[in-house]
Structure 1
Amino acid sequence: MKIRDILNREIVNLTNCEHEPIHIPGSIQPHGFLLGLKTGTWLIDFCSANTSDYIGISHTELLGRTFATAFGDEREHLFKEYISHALVTAPLKLELFGRNFNCTIHISGAHYILEAEPLTHVSAPLSSIYDQTSQFLAYMNETHTLKELCQLVADGTREITGYDRVMVYRFDKDYNGEVFAESRDEKFEPFLGLHYPHTDIPVQARELYLKNLLRLIADIGYKPVPIYTIDDTHGKNLDLSHSILRSTSPIHIQYLQNMGVGATLTISLIHQKKLWGLIACHHYSPKNLTPEIRLAAQLQGNFLTSQIDVRQSNEEYEVSRKTNAALEKLNALHLSPKSESFEQVIACNELLEICNAGGVSIKFGNEIFTSGSVPEHDEILMLSDWLFNYTNAGQLHTDKLLGHLHDHKELCQKVPGIVYHSLGLDADNCVIWYRPETIAEVNWAGDPAKAIVKDEKGLFPRKSFELWREFVKYQSKPWSTPELNSAANYAHSLQRQMALILLTEESRRNLELNQILKETNSELENINWISTHDLQEPLRKIQLIASRLLSKENDISPDVIDAILRMNQSASRMQALLVDILKYTRIQHTKAIFEKVKLENLVQQTVEELKEAVTEKMAIVKVNGLPEINGVAFLLKQLFSNLISNSLKYSKDDTASEILVDYQGREPNVSPTDRDALFEVIRISDNGIGFEQQFSENIFNIFTRLHPQAEYKGSGVGLALCKKIMQTHSGFIKAEGTPDSGAVFTLYFPVN
């Protein structure tokens, strides 16, 4: 059987330090030993090189044997019994070759990993640990802020574990860390308030902190113990992400040595499935903890993460109370629906207080209303247009405008913090709150730009942790959640006020237009009365005088007689036009009651009344199965009279005229405005001269004619009159024509 170690011998350098495979180091810390058992067969497939130090049997003797053959059936039974209880957190206590061990077990891929540490006497009685934990819970309820709670956790963890220094380490959004709370021995310098760059804890390390919530290094100066395996598969390895004894990255060990640390305990603080921070415990000499103390320390972290939301809410409560009070005062203002109302709004200090801003601008149309410290007028215009396009008519809040608007450094220094809300579909309506620059002093534990150092010997973590001050510019105080919520709420109020102003102005314009329209209609009615009544009298006199003159034609020359005849004909045409106009206007004002009308009888009567014209044109008029509809009888009679007369007028001289009025049945989905309506469809077709289809819409316009007056007499009102009659009946009319082949007029009457 061939055996090999799985030690990771890759050299960490600048190109791979962010991707160092720290989950598969192939080695462990020496304060315990490790076995990797195949699931199902319980064959020892992995074994650390230090088993002989603890149980007197070398790894070469253990590899390839089953757990039972190596340690006995009774131990195997205890092992299987333990793993059958998936929720077990206390270690398994095993006696192996006369020595007692605390064993932690977890599964990794196809292997169970057993890590055994010698059982030692508990440095503090379990009752003492319990009392300390109970006391901590009592004190926890007395704290109000998150910082107070973190300090309590730091003090409690140090009391339980006995480490020289315990820090609560909090990450920002970029995973730079800050020592948020600290408990330490007085002889050590304080780290409280110091910041550490994100490179101190690289990505893969943060990922492991999410998987394994407790990480112990008992002695920084330890010598890694390699893990051996049966060499039966190429590239065979073991994932130690959840291991207690997992060996640590050499660069991290060097980092801790540079800090002068001798042992560490790290507890992950997980909040909303993200790494919120760490409880980092440092001791300046080697130090190990019993499993019971480790668990008690881990509970401190659980207490803290369970209270983060509550404490942050407590801290935000006072801010929220003040912003809500300002918001209530603003919403209580009685604003008139005029743009001047924004002068009343902008004069209120509460407009700044709702989000603790230094300035605010409201843009409504071409007007800009401002309060407090704001940019220049042209800068507000530019910023409004840019934000509208950048947010796609949405919203934006930032404490570092330069991170978004790179080309206006001076403006971004003047107002680095903004809250923007678009209040319309264009850039003309918006509100922007502004915050001035706050130059922050950040105390780093060493220059963050030198977190990783490379020299001729390779890659090393920094050696200097001396105070290094950085002044952060182009940044404002961050906006809190209550401030952003209040700003958003009042932005909606401003949007409603703007909508009300626009609606009020639109309503006022509509009233003015309605008044103008009313006056215009009154004038048109007067003109119509004059055209249809007062103008009739002069025409009758013209016709009377013409008749008298024509009765004396023996005394008048032929040229004069011809002129008088033309004058009489013109007067007759004008009289007919006035009569048609009167008919057209009467339809607009008709309020006749609708009744059941039998179209078959009505159209037959109409044809009878047109008998003289039908006979003159030698026409054949057929009427087939017309339905009964709701309508105004005299208007319907006018409709069919106009359409049949139109067919007679535009018949061909050399062909007998044929006119067909027939019922096409009911049709749905034909209305351009109501797709659910059902219509009775009637068609009037002829074999006359027809027309070009391009004129199918224009022929219904009043006074529209397709032929000269001398060729076909008429006023150009007839088809316009037909369209009006159909509209009065809530229907519509369509026309189709083919030159020299005839025309078809289709009528659509609604069933209901």
Structure 2
Amino acid sequence: MRDSEAEQAVDLSNCDREEIHLVERVQGYGALVTVDAGGRVRRHSANLAEMLGLEAVPAPGTALADALGAAQAAALTDRAALIGPDLEQVRASGLGFPAGAFDAAIHRVGPETVIELEPAGPTAEADDVTLVQTLMNAVRRQPTIQAAAEEATRTVRRLTGHDRVMCYRFGEDGSGTVVAEDAAPEVESYLHLRFPATDIPAQARALYRRNALRQIADVDGPTHRLVPEPARPDGRLDMSLCTTRAVSPVHLEYLRNMGVVASMSVSILRDGALWGLFACHSHKPHALSLGRRAAVELFAQLFAYEISVKSMQVERAHDGDARRLHDALVARVSRGGDIASAIDVVADEIRPVIGFDGIAVVSDDAVATIGVAPDEEACRAIAAHVAGAASPGKVFHTATLQDAMPEAAHLSEPVAGVMALPISLDPGNYILLLRGEVARTVVWAGNPNKPVRPTSDGLRLSPRNSFAAWHQTVTGQSVPWSESERAAAEALRATLLEVVLRMADEAARERVRFQEKQGMLIGELNHRMRNILNLIRSLAQQTRGAAASLEEYAREFDGRLVALSRAHDQLIAGREGEGASLVQLLALEMQAYGGEAGRLVIEGRDVMLPGETFSTLALVMHEMVTNSMKHGALSRPEGRIAVTLRHGPEALRVEWREQGGPPVAEPTRRGFGSTIVERAIPHELGGSVQVRYAAGGLEADFVLPNGHLALDEPLPGDAAEAEAPAEAKAPEPDDAPTRVAAPLAPAGPVLLVEDNMIIALDAADMLAGLGCGDVRSAASVSEALAHVDAEMPVAALLDVNLGRGETSLPVAERLRDAGVPYAFTTGYADDGQVLREHPGAPVLGKPFTEAELAAVLARLLD
């Protein structure tokens, strides 16, 4: 922000004009380099060579490989290739430089790829995602948003190690209130204090919506400029998404006045809007690694989701009142009345849901009032003001009507707050809920009104040197309309319009359908989110058991996640109900690994795969292509892969043949990748897999039952019939990761029913680690009952919802009749009929930890 003339008063609103995203400097804990589309260095921070331990400072136009090293440049370029419309930023870890290991954050600004490098964090932070999931469970158990915010604030301080962490919630005017706080005993508390909107300027709030986490490691630490400097102002680098971006001098002064040396802000976004922040303060320099910051950012995203869920629960609690109000209005209108003549009914029914001092019905024909309300002329003037300020057909509300309509303070009955509900499609017809003025005291963190003035030392924030509680008496305002009142008004708005248009019956049916659909979508969203988290956790656990090093673990785990992501993207891109193409899946996997055209030859008719089948095949084909790139045909330039699709009356056979590669031999040990190839299709799709290590190259046959294909009608068979599904091959002993033996030792088999193969493998590993020497896995009801018929288990763990519309209810009933204890696992908050019919069975929510599983298993075996 530029200095003003000495005599000019400057207040904090000047900060709204500061170009904080064009600072052209980075903080001292990181370095930055940008490259153009050709991979040549365009600009870099002045500390780049010193931080990385490079021998020379890269000159503009230097190839990235020459500047940073070939291996490092290749790794950064590969990660940058993932950036797209739905993924603005990517990260890379474990990059080796002369000065040590570094992590990188990468994004694009126009033609430039921006690479920010920071020293890598401790290897112990590799399990941060699992830690976040565990900590989030405590937040999820809280009954209210306030209680959840308090628990979340404690959690963020535990994750970050800052001296003080505040949950800061924004108001409609941009000001913010500290609604929860966790701080060291000696640290000053700001709990319940309000900060004016000018403390976080408009452009800073906009950046928080784009870049969810902002770290300031040391307010007095060095910063480093970008070189070369741009020839023109419009050539400056947009650093909106930069993690190391230097800080506005005004904000640094603000933090110093608070006694803060290091800070971090984490956005809490709800429906794309900035709901609030986690504001973290330390009184000494403090910086978190890129990996730990990513974990904190994930926690904030999950917390925002939990806020949405709890808000919906509050809204549903008001549905009964809304339905009762709807029924009363419908009954009144059905007797030939209208809203104006039914104002007494309207007032009596609305008052328990939305509080008011007076009510007025303003229509073209008449004005009717009850309670503390001004005369007809004043009511029409208020309605006219609302019509000009509100969006057509929407609810309008304000607690400060007198600011925009000063005459409202001088009416026969002064009005400060109004909520207007439209009762027709024509503007000007409203139910007006009116509130009078209520003087109240607002407690600010320091005086928010005193201006900032320039001094001989430059622009200073001395008026904000004190952040002690400052009380202000506010007049000209009513009691604010609460979030639940606004939600009730939105629900009532549609009802009123439909009542006036004599469509009450259809409105009632639509309301019921909407509520049912909303409940179903909320439940499905919760289920899918839990399953995704459980799948990622299980994928991480299984990959870790097979990896020989941290770098291999990161590479393998990242590749599998990317395969799932590509599968999801392809499913979303397809038209609803058609599934996604198997041929395109194969082509995408080749393209992702830089496979050249012609090295993959596909014969046979393409087939569309539904979502569950496509995700399973995506993982299997990812492992096949990865293995071929490492050890098979694709490891040599002349190598190629031939895939033949043979359609049979009952199944599709996918024949994989590698040619022109090095000699192959059956491996002596099978890792997790081999387990995915050999077991995913039998376990999840009921098909079969045969893998042969032939002299000419690897051969594999995958058989997919037609029931798992998106077929409008059965396909006629090809010349070669597909074979019948075969039994799934048991994993090799080396596949299981080493665990510490647990004291539980069941005297017989434990039955595990889970339709997702990766989750089943992880749960089986957990059971084995708890002392269960005989775990029988099943993916369907029929397979589970076959295990029960062969040998009755001593305990069972049952996934409620299985594939293809099945539930584990028949298995639970069979076990209950036999007196065998069992527990359910589920991603739903309430799995309805199954859980209601088995009230004594423990329920284990997904994702679950080994400790949680141990507690449930001990209960079953007791």
TM-score, normalised on structure 1?
A: 0.57
TM-superposition CA deviations, 1:514-552 (whole Å, max 9, x none): xxxxxxxxxxxxxxxxxxxxxxxxxxxxxxxxxxxxxxx
For the pair 1:24 / 2:22, whether they are aligned, the reply is yes
- CA distance in structure 2 between the aligned counterparts of 1:210 and 1:308, rounded to whole angstroms: 17
| Aligned residues of 1:343 and 1:369 also touching (Cα < 8 A) | no
| Aligned residues of 1:359 and 1:371 also touching (Cα < 8 A) | yes
In structure 1, the residue matched to 2:149 is 150
- CA distance in structure 1 between the aligned counterparts of 2:413 and 2:474, rounded to whole angstroms: 11
1:663-682 equivalences under 5 Å are: none
- Residues 21 and 362 of structure 1: is their aligned pair in 2 closer, same or farther, counting only changes over 3 Å? closer
TM-superposition CA deviations, 1:79-108 (whole Å, max 9, x none): 323323336844332222252222222222
Q: CA shift at 1:282, angstroms?
A: 0.9
- CA distance in structure 2 between the aligned counterparts of 1:344 and 1:81, rounded to whole angstroms: 67
Helix, strand or coil at the partner of 1:239: coil
Q: CA shift at 1:29, angstroms?
A: 0.8
- CA distance in structure 2 between the aligned counterparts of 1:155 and 1:256, rounded to whole angstroms: 22
In structure 1, the residue matched to 2:466 is 464
- Residues 230 and 285 of structure 1: is their aligned pair in 2 closer, same or farther, counting only changes over 3 Å? closer
- CA distance in structure 2 between the aligned counterparts of 1:429 and 1:47, rounded to whole angstroms: 61
In structure 2, the residue matched to 1:116 is 117
In structure 2, the residue matched to 1:238 is 237
1:55-66 equivalences under 5 Å are: 55-57=52-54, 60=57, 62-66=59-63
| Aligned residues of 2:15 and 2:198 also touching (Cα < 8 A) | no
| Aligned residues of 2:94 and 2:101 also touching (Cα < 8 A) | yes
Of the candidates 72, 79, 88, which is equivalent to residue 75 of structure 1?
72
User: Once superposed, what is the RMSD of the aligned Cα atoms?
Assistant: 3.8
Opposite residue 218 of structure 2, the aligned amino acid is D
- CA distance in structure 2 between the aligned counterparts of 1:365 and 1:79, rounded to whole angstroms: 67
Q: CA shift at 1:252, angstroms?
A: 0.5
- Residues 10 and 385 of structure 1: is their aligned pair in 2 closer, same or farther, counting only changes over 3 Å? closer
- CA distance in structure 1 between the aligned counterparts of 2:347 and 2:230, rounded to whole angstroms: 79
Q: CA shift at 1:259, angstroms?
A: 0.5
- Residues 182 and 421 of structure 1: is their aligned pair in 2 closer, same or farther, counting only changes over 3 Å? closer
| Aligned residues of 1:360 and 1:434 also touching (Cα < 8 A) | yes
Opposite residue 383 of structure 2, the aligned amino acid is L
Q: CA shift at 1:351, angstroms?
A: 4.7
| Aligned residues of 1:323 and 1:482 also touching (Cα < 8 A) | no
TM-superposition CA deviations, 1:181-220 (whole Å, max 9, x none): 2222232232122111111111222222222221111111
1:48-59 equivalences under 5 Å are: 48-57=45-54
Q: CA shift at 1:278, angstroms?
A: 1.6
Which runs of 5 or more residues in structure 2 are unaligned? 503-862
- Residues 190 and 388 of structure 1: is their aligned pair in 2 closer, same or farther, counting only changes over 3 Å? same
- CA distance in structure 2 between the aligned counterparts of 1:62 and 1:334, rounded to whole angstroms: 79
| Aligned residues of 1:413 and 1:475 also touching (Cα < 8 A) | no
| Aligned residues of 1:107 and 1:113 also touching (Cα < 8 A) | yes
What count of residue pairs does the alignment treat as equivalent? 485
Helix, strand or coil at the partner of 1:449: coil
In structure 1, the residue matched to 2:558 is none
Percent of pairs with identical residues = 27
Helix, strand or coil at the partner of 2:460: strand
- Residues 16 and 314 of structure 1: is their aligned pair in 2 closer, same or farther, counting only changes over 3 Å? same
| Aligned residues of 1:49 and 1:58 also touching (Cα < 8 A) | no
- Residues 364 and 178 of structure 1: is their aligned pair in 2 closer, same or farther, counting only changes over 3 Å? closer
- CA distance in structure 2 between the aligned counterparts of 1:78 and 1:340, rounded to whole angstroms: 68
| Aligned residues of 2:153 and 2:278 also touching (Cα < 8 A) | yes
TM-superposition CA deviations, 1:600-649 (whole Å, max 9, x none): xxxxxxxxxxxxxxxxxxxxxxxxxxxxxxxxxxxxxxxxxxxxxxxxxx
Opposite residue 227 of structure 2, the aligned amino acid is Y
| Aligned residues of 1:358 and 1:436 also touching (Cα < 8 A) | yes
In structure 2, the residue matched to 1:447 is 447
Q: CA shift at 1:483, angstroms?
A: 3.4
In structure 2, the residue matched to 1:481 is 486
Q: CA shift at 1:49, angstroms?
A: 2.0
Helix, strand or coil at the partner of 1:303: helix
In structure 2, the residue matched to 1:171 is 170
Q: CA shift at 1:249, angstroms?
A: 0.5
- Residues 53 and 451 of structure 1: is their aligned pair in 2 closer, same or farther, counting only changes over 3 Å? farther
For the pair 1:192 / 2:166, whether they are aligned, the reply is no
- Residues 249 and 413 of structure 1: is their aligned pair in 2 closer, same or farther, counting only changes over 3 Å? farther
For the pair 1:105 / 2:103, whether they are aligned, the reply is no
- CA distance in structure 1 between the aligned counterparts of 2:92 and 2:321, rounded to whole angstroms: 51
In structure 1, the residue matched to 2:686 is none
- Residues 202 and 425 of structure 1: is their aligned pair in 2 closer, same or farther, counting only changes over 3 Å? closer
- Residues 152 and 66 of structure 1: is their aligned pair in 2 closer, same or farther, counting only changes over 3 Å? same
Helix, strand or coil at the partner of 1:275: strand
1:68-467 equivalences under 5 Å are: 68-86=65-83, 89-97=90-98, 99-122=100-123, 125-127=125-127, 129-229=128-228, 236-333=235-332, 337=336, 342=341, 345=344, 349-362=348-361, 370-375=369-374, 379-384=375-380, 387-388=383-384, 391=387, 396-411=396-411, 414-420=414-420, 431-450=431-450, 452-461=452-461, 462-467=464-469
- Residues 331 and 246 of structure 1: is their aligned pair in 2 closer, same or farther, counting only changes over 3 Å? same
- CA distance in structure 1 between the aligned counterparts of 2:70 and 2:405, rounded to whole angstroms: 71
Opposite residue 138 of structure 2, the aligned amino acid is Y
1:709-728 equivalences under 5 Å are: none
- Residues 433 and 226 of structure 1: is their aligned pair in 2 closer, same or farther, counting only changes over 3 Å? closer
Opposite residue 410 of structure 2, the aligned amino acid is E
1:618-697 equivalences under 5 Å are: none
- CA distance in structure 2 between the aligned counterparts of 1:483 and 1:52, rounded to whole angstroms: 60
Opposite residue 488 of structure 1, the aligned amino acid is R
Opposite residue 289 of structure 1, the aligned amino acid is L
Opposite residue 440 of structure 2, the aligned amino acid is A
Opposite residue 242 of structure 1, the aligned amino acid is L
- CA distance in structure 2 between the aligned counterparts of 1:11 and 1:59, rounded to whole angstroms: 38
Helix, strand or coil at the partner of 2:187: coil
Q: CA shift at 1:261, angstroms?
A: 0.7
Q: CA shift at 1:19, angstroms?
A: 2.0
TM-score, normalised on structure 2?
A: 0.51
Larger radius of gyration: 1
| Aligned residues of 1:346 and 1:370 also touching (Cα < 8 A) | no
Q: CA shift at 1:465, angstroms?
A: 0.9
In structure 2, the residue matched to 1:735 is none
Helix, strand or coil at the partner of 2:260: coil
TM-superposition CA deviations, 1:367-388 (whole Å, max 9, x none): 865433333xxx2443235525
| Aligned residues of 2:357 and 2:434 also touching (Cα < 8 A) | yes
Q: CA shift at 1:299, angstroms?
A: 0.8
- CA distance in structure 2 between the aligned counterparts of 1:237 and 1:142, rounded to whole angstroms: 47
Opposite residue 92 of structure 2, the aligned amino acid is P
| Aligned residues of 1:331 and 1:493 also touching (Cα < 8 A) | no
Q: CA shift at 1:445, angstroms?
A: 0.7
TM-superposition CA deviations, 1:19-54 (whole Å, max 9, x none): 2222121211111222222221x3323222223533
Q: CA shift at 1:248, angstroms?
A: 0.5
Q: CA shift at 1:178, angstroms?
A: 1.5
Opposite residue 99 of structure 1, the aligned amino acid is G
- CA distance in structure 2 between the aligned counterparts of 1:385 and 1:246, rounded to whole angstroms: 51
- CA distance in structure 1 between the aligned counterparts of 2:308 and 2:300, rounded to whole angstroms: 14
| Aligned residues of 1:91 and 1:291 also touching (Cα < 8 A) | no
Helix, strand or coil at the partner of 1:438: coil
Q: CA shift at 1:443, angstroms?
A: 1.4
Q: CA shift at 1:276, angstroms?
A: 2.4
Q: CA shift at 1:250, angstroms?
A: 0.6
In structure 2, the residue matched to 1:559 is none
- Residues 366 and 380 of structure 1: is their aligned pair in 2 closer, same or farther, counting only changes over 3 Å? same
| Aligned residues of 1:352 and 1:359 also touching (Cα < 8 A) | no
| Aligned residues of 1:64 and 1:230 also touching (Cα < 8 A) | no
